[in-house]
Amino acid sequence: MFTISKFTSGQDTTDLVNQLIKQTEKNKTYRTQSTFVYTHILNGQSVETLGKKVLDVRISHRFGPLNSGLYNFFGLDYSPFNVRVGFDYGITNNIMIGGGHSGFQKTYDLFSKIKILGQSTGAVRAPFTISFVPTITINTLKQDEFPVKLDSGETIKRVSYVLQLLIARKFTEEFSLQIMPTLIHPDNVSYLHSKKNILAIGIAGREKISKRMSLIAEYYYQLPDNKAADSHNVLSFGLNIWTGGHVFQLLFTNSYGLTEKSFIAETRGSWSKGDELFGFNISRVFELGKKHKK
């Protein structure tokens, strides 16, 4: 009798422990990690943010078009090319800032990114990760180098503004998808726009092919009544390689520009005419303020 009672008591205790474990699991929230691995997709931003006190030094390079021929080594020996050097910093795990300079039209840019919502399961369920990104750029070309001729008496506006809402979902460990509604208020010295405000929507996808490599595609569509007559929608394909502290991105795109205003609304190249070009992005991440033990 004692043995049976002891066995029953032990069984009841095990059941109680299992119930407590299940209840605890129900009260937990599981955050989705690494929807796009990196803070940028190819040209544009992803929903990801840097960790707190993390500095990211990013160098982007775009060569010339492939149809420039063998003489220019299919764009690799093409001049001028475009380079952007940028610095991003994580203020908190959900807020980051960044800025940089690109040679094309001597452009400076500054942005911030705020993660509003994170995809999660468990006690708190959210189907998407959502981030908001406002960007400001300034064209610093000399006035006699402006590619656009202004009307007599027209005010020079060098500053552009871009607002983006990034909405992404990680469907599986291998596949993620993101859409990017975008509003652009361009300057009037770098391109002849028919509208003061340009609306576009982007879509990007990531397919993981190995532990450290992913295939990425990115496309921005300008709404028809916003699009300038000689601009084209930007389409990019690339390979993302992550090596811990470094991120390498090799890509083909039809855009020469490296800021949102430029590559979304001011792309002159067309894939159908062979205007696509090769480029790469290199990122090095540093953890600042971390105490190291001897």
- What does the alpha-carbon distance between residue 67 and residue 148 come to, in Å, rounded to a whole number? 26
Question: What residues contact 191, with CB distance under 8 A and at least 6 apart?
Answer: 147, 148, 228, 231, 265, 266
**Residue matched to tokens 């980051």:** 96
For residue 67, the model assigns a pLDDT of 64
For residue 88, the model assigns a pLDDT of 97
Contact between 38 and 251 under an 8 Å Cβ cutoff? The reply is no
Left if phi > 0, otherwise alpha if psi is -120 to 50, otherwise beta: which for 53?
Answer: left
Residue range 155-168: mean pLDDT, rounded:
95
- What does the alpha-carbon distance between residue 192 and residue 204 come to, in Å, rounded to a whole number? 27
Task: Specify which residues 99 forms β-bridges with.
Answer: 87, 110
- Percent of the chain at pLDDT > 70 equals 84
Domain boundaries, the chain: 32-283
For residue 292, the model assigns a pLDDT of 47
Residue range 136-142: mean pLDDT, rounded:
94
Element (H, E) at 22: helix 2-26
Region of poorest pLDDT, from 158-162, 181-185, 189-193? 189-193
For residue 12, the model assigns a pLDDT of 67
Contact between 211 and 241 under an 8 Å Cβ cutoff? The reply is no
Cα-flanking dihedrals φ and ψ of residue 188, to 5°?
Answer: -120, 20
pLDDT in tens, 61-109: 998 776 666 666 555 666 677 899 999 999 999 999 999 999 989 999 9
pLDDT over 50 (residue 293): no
Q: What does the chain come to in residues? A: 294
For residue 226, the model assigns a pLDDT of 86
Per-residue pLDDT band at 16 (split at 50, 70, 90): low
Q: Based on the number of CB atoms within 10 Å of its own CB, is 254 exposed (0-12), middle (13-18) or buried (19 or more)? A: buried
- With DSSP H G I counted as helix, E B as strand and the rest as coil, what are the percentages for the chain, rounded to 5? 15, 45, 40
Element (H, E) at 8: helix 2-26
For residue 102, the model assigns a pLDDT of 94
Per-residue pLDDT band at 291 (split at 50, 70, 90): low
Cα-flanking dihedrals φ and ψ of residue 55, to 5°?
Answer: -105, 135
pLDDT in tens, 248-259: 999 999 999 999
For residue 19, the model assigns a pLDDT of 63
Average pLDDT, the chain: 87
Contact between 204 and 218 under an 8 Å Cβ cutoff? The reply is yes
- What does the alpha-carbon distance between residue 294 and residue 282 come to, in Å, rounded to a whole number? 31
Amino acid in position 53:
K
pLDDT over 60 (residue 114): yes
Which CATH superfamily includes the segment(s) 32-283?
A: monomeric porin ompg (2.40.160.40)
Residue range 125-147: mean pLDDT, rounded:
93
Q: What is the DSSP string of 222-253?
A: E-TTTS-TT----EEEEEEEE-SSEEEEEEEE
Question: What residues contact 197, with CB distance under 8 A and at least 6 apart?
Answer: 183, 184, 185, 226
For residue 4, the model assigns a pLDDT of 46
Residue range 238-264: mean pLDDT, rounded:
92
- Percent of the chain at pLDDT > 90 equals 57
DSSP state of 194: S
Cα 198 to Cα 46, 131, 201, 268, distances in angstroms: 20, 20, 10, 16
Contact between 178 and 46 under an 8 Å Cβ cutoff? The reply is yes
pLDDT in tens, 276-288: 899 999 999 998 8
For residue 1, the model assigns a pLDDT of 47
Left if phi > 0, otherwise alpha if psi is -120 to 50, otherwise beta: which for 172?
Answer: beta
